[in-house]
Structures are given as C-alpha cells and as structure tokens.
Amino acid sequence: MRKLQQAQAILEGLGLPPAQCNEISGYTLLALCGVKRRDSWASAARSSLTITKGIMAFIEAAYKKKYAPNTRETFRREVLHQFVQARIAEYNPDNPALPTNSPRAHYAISDAALAAIRTYGTPEWKAACKDFAIEHGSLFALYRNERDAHLVPVRLSDGTTLTLSPGKHNEVQAAVVEQFASRFAAGSVVAYLGDTANKSLHVDRDLLARLGIPISDHDKLPDVVLYDEPRDWLFLIEAVTSHGPMTPKRLVELKEMLANCTAGVVFVSAFPDFTEFRKNLTKIAWETEVWIAEIPDHLIHYNGDRFLGPRCCENGY
C-alpha cells in the first residue's frame, strides 16, 4: 500500500484533481512507470501499454490487485483520458494514426511527467512539480476554471451575489430569488438558500430563530425560504427538477417542523417549464402554489374555492 499512496501523492503533486488521485489512478501510474513494490521512483521507465494486457496485467502481477475485465472502460474513461489531458500520459505514441477503437490502442508516461516523477522523495520534487505545472498546466486548475465558468450567479435583495453549482435545479433556484421574489414577494429577504453541492449555502440563522424555525432542522427545509416582513409571510419553495414538488407528505412534514412559527406560510412548487410541471401534476398538494419560470408573471393555485368567483374586467364587470 505504501507504493500506492506514493503514487497518489505524485498525482496530486502533478496537479490532478482529487477524483483522479484515487486508488485505480494510483495503480495506473505505477503500471505506466513500471514501478513495483521494491522499486524506487528513480527507476521509473517509459513503455507503451495497452489497457487490459498491459496496465491491468501489470497491476495484478505486481500488486495482486485484480480488476474485472469490464473495468477496462473505467480505466480508459475515468483515468487515462484525464492523464492525457494533464500531459502525464500520451495516447498511441508509437502509432498516432491508430483508429480510436483499435485493439492496439496504448498509453505511455510522458517524458515530462517521467522526469518529474523520478525526483519523488528527493529535495528536487517540489521544484519539479512547479516546473511541470508551468510548462503543462494543472488539470485541477483547468477543471476548476471550467466549473467556475458554469456557476450560476444569484443576487440577493441586499446586493450580495452568491454562486450556485452548475445545473438545472440551481438555475430554477436562482430564478426563484430573482424573478419570483420580485413579482410575488417584493421586499422579502432570503432566509435560506440551499445548493446541490452545499445544502447551507446561505442561512440567516437569526431570522429563522426569530420566526421559530428549528435551526438544527435546516437540512429539511425546502430549497428556498423567503420572508416577507411587511405581510409576515414565509414562502417555502421547492425547485422541482429531479426532486419532487410540494406533495401532501412533504406538506405534513413541513407543517410539523414549523409548529412554532408565527408567520403565515405559503408553500410553492417552482418548475423550470410546463414540461416539468406536467410530469408532477398529480403529485402536488392542495393549498399550495405553483410557479413556472418560463411564465414568471403568473401563479397556479391548487384549490379552486379560495379564488372562486367572477373576475372584474376593465369595465367593472
């Protein structure tokens, strides 16, 4: 295991993201370098290896770690592709003209990565990593920049800007804060805003405590909680993409959690579009509201008796 841990440390030093510094990646690096249990990293060498008969066979022979044949695609898609992107490995260096699905497809450690790897455990290691990053960049930084470029910005009522993780779910949440709130809860403040990657992205603990909402249960709150102080209304809003709307079961759970809340509560299911709304038509609880981001100026009220009656037109009828 010591050699495996060293291999993982090397990958981290060469700028790979945490997901590419896992066990299978560590074993792959050992195979590409031809380093066995008792070998030093200074003896690392370059040779071209196919996935099954080269890399997987080396791992089993040298480290008694047997991977099932169907994991070949895992090596290719989740390890070697990233190694090539990070300039740690080269794809088909002996015959670049090979077709993509050729059974002779092979990989080799790059000369630049090999030069740095041979210094591992010596005083030159840190400098070698730095030189490698300057010359070839860091995959971690590259992936991070790509992720940051797709973050969803959301502006709170006090002018604060938060960034949500990429994804349709968080796009709906941003629309709730920026479009629903301005139309139906003008002047309200965001008491809670979750995120698919950070469930507690924004939590106004003082406000929630003042409203009688148990802080320890914030993970049970809907995606967005708005408080309209002039009307003393609390909007509990579920953004519906992969997760469900305000169902009867969810309504009961929330009412139990809000037993000590004195504000008037409005339950809302927010959908990105009519397509997503239609999928959930029969699941939505009565006495709740529906908001659809593609038609932001309107609400659908799930109970007719509250608003039953003729509407006044411009002529007073």
pLDDT digits (tens, 9 = 90+) for 19-68: 889 999 999 999 999 999 999 999 999 999 999 999 999 999 999 999 99
- Under 8 Å between Cβ of 223 and 196: no
Which tens digit of pLDDT belongs to each residue from 43-52? Answer: 999 999 999 9
Structural tokens at position 304: 């007719």
| pLDDT exceeds 50 at position 315 | no
Task: Tell me the whole-structure pTM to 2 decimals.
Answer: 0.54
- Under 8 Å between Cβ of 185 and 233: yes
Structural tokens at position 305: 């008796």
From first CA to last CA, the distance across the chain in angstroms is: 82
Residues 270, 276, 280: CA angle, nearest 5 degrees? 80
Report how far apart, in Å, the C-alpha atoms of 182 and of each of 83, 176, 189, 235, 278 are. 47, 9, 11, 13, 25
- Under 8 Å between Cβ of 52 and 72: yes
Assigned CATH topology for domain 2-146: Arc Repressor Mutant, subunit A (1.10.10)
Domain ranges of the chain: 2-146, 151-307
Q: Report the pLDDT value the prediction gives residue 317, as an integer from 0 to 100.
A: 37
Rg (CA), the chain: 28
Q: Report the pLDDT value the prediction gives residue 144, as an integer from 0 to 100.
A: 64
Q: How far is CA 15 from the centre of its chain?
A: 20
Higher pLDDT, 180 or 166: 180
Over residues 254-262, mean pLDDT: 89
CATH (one of 3.40.1350.80, 3.40.50.261, 1.10.150.120, 3.30.450.40) for 151-307: 3.40.1350.80
Among candidates 112, 128, 120, which has minimal Cα distance to 46? 112
Q: What is the chain's length?
A: 317
The pLDDT > 70 percentage for the chain reads 86
Residue 112 carries which DSSP code? H
Q: Give the whole-angstrom CA distance, residue 199 versus residue 243.
A: 14
Which tens digit of pLDDT belongs to each residue from 111-141? Answer: 999 999 999 999 999 999 988 888 887 776 7
Q: Give the whole-angstrom CA distance, residue 146 versus residue 194.
A: 22
Q: Identity (one letter) of the amino acid at 265?
A: V
Q: How far is CA 153 from the centre of its chain?
A: 15
Q: How many CA atoms lie within 13 A of 121 on its CB side?
A: 12
